[in-house]
Amino acid sequence: MKALVTVKRVIDYNVKPRVKADGTGVDLANVKMSMNPFDEIAVEEAIRLKEKGVVTEIVAVSVGPAKAQETLRTALAMGADRAILVQTDDEVEPLAVAKIVKGVADEEQPGLIITGKQAIDDDSNQVGQMVAALLGRPQGTFANEITVEGDSVVVKREIDGGLETVKLALPAVVTTDLRLNEPRYASLPNIMKAKSKPLATKAPADYGVDTAPRLKTLKVSEPPVRSAGIKVADVDALVAKLKELGVA
């Protein structure tokens, strides 16, 4: 079966984001961008399923600006077979992304759609669930383990109290949690090879999707700053502080 993986170009997770002085957003000019960490896990899982002979072809899709091509090339270098960039310079909300992914899925008919559980920029945690809803297919969110068994997929999910296992009829949508796998690095020869792998460019209109935002961002501000703390010299001083706080 075919696997569709979604990847997003986001600010690198090690970079501390800076809020623009005019409160219109976060300053992304000259900031290092990378593939969303959960999406790396999604790509890795698709590749592992291909290595097991469960998946035959991996299609990576990204919705974003022309530069998102770099992110798709990274997915291709890791082991995806071809890529689709749905190019737009607008900021696209999860619902519109989900509609575009549904459009791609309608054309490609994947057996499994793998997305990250959330993007580390908007922290929404919505796209996978929305894709599943729009396609009328089951969802295995926050996956810790994925096993394809015939015409179904068994997904072990990370939930608040521990783990839960569900069985989903294929085709299905799975979103990755951190502990699903350890993504591989792309080797230099594979990065070179990835340059010649097919990458199609589309537009949201090709899928009949209107990307106009439903949520208007009125303001983006810095979180409240914590007042400077103190350092204590020894354990006795810390115990005294804990007593002051009434916890000891």
Partner 1 sequence: MANVLVWVEHDGSAVKDATLAAVTAAAKLGDVTALVAGSGVDGVAAAAAQIEGVSKVLKADDASLANGLAENVAPLIASVMAGYDAFVAAATTTAKNVAPRVAALLDVAQVSEILSVEGPKTFTRPIYAGNAIATVESSDAKLVVTVRGTAFAKANATGGSAAVEAVSGAAESGLSSFVGSEIAKSERPELTSAKIIVSGGRALKDAATFEATITPLADKLGAAIGASRAAVDAGFVPNDYQVGQTGKIVAPEVYLAVGISGAIQHLAGMKDSKTIIAINKDEDAPIFQVADIGLVGDLFTLVPELTGKL
Q: What are phi and psi of 162, to 5 degrees?
A: 160, -125
Q: Site map for partner 1, 214-233, x if CB under 8 A?
A: xxxxxxxxxx--xx-xxxx-
Residue range at the interface with partner 1 (CB under 8 A); choices 54-62, 78-86, 166-174, 201-209: 166-174
Q: Does 161 bind partner 1 (CB under 8 A)?
A: yes
Q: Hey, what are 116's tokens?
A: 């990250």
In angstroms, the first-to-last Cα distance of the chain is 59
Pattern of binders to partner 1 over 124-143, x per CB under 8 A?
xxxxxxxxxxx--xxx-xx-
Give the number of other Cβ atoms within 10 Å of residue 191's Cβ: 15
Instruction: Find the binder of partner 1 among 12, 13, 56, 187 (CB under 8 A).
Output: 13
What's the closest the beta carbon of residue 2 comes to partner 1, in angstroms? 19
Q: Taking the complex as a whole, how short is the minimal distance between the CB of residue 141 and partner 1, in angstroms?
A: 5
Mark the segment that binds partner 1 (CB under 8 A) among 43-51, 62-70, 151-159, 183-191: 151-159
Closest CA to 197 of 85, 104, 110, 77: 77
Q: Which residues pair with 147 in a beta bridge?
A: 154
Distance in angstroms (rounded) separating the CA atoms of residues 219 and 214 = 15
188 versus 225: smaller Cβ distance to partner 1: 225
Pick the closer one to partner 1 by CB: 124 or 201.
124
Q: Does 112 bind partner 1 (CB under 8 A)?
A: no
Rounded to the nearest 10 degrees, how much is the dihedral formed by the CA atoms of 123, 85, 39, 135?
A: 80
91, 122, 145, 206: which one binds partner 1 (CB under 8 A): 122
When the beta carbons of 79 and 140 are compared against partner 1, the nearer one is 140
What are the tokens at 239?
């115990």
Nearer to partner 1, 53 or 162 (CB): 162
Residue 152, beta-bridge partner list: 149, 169
**CA dihedral for 226, 231, 237, 239, sign (positive or negative):** positive
Residue numbers 19-78 binding partner 1 by CB under 8 A: 19, 26
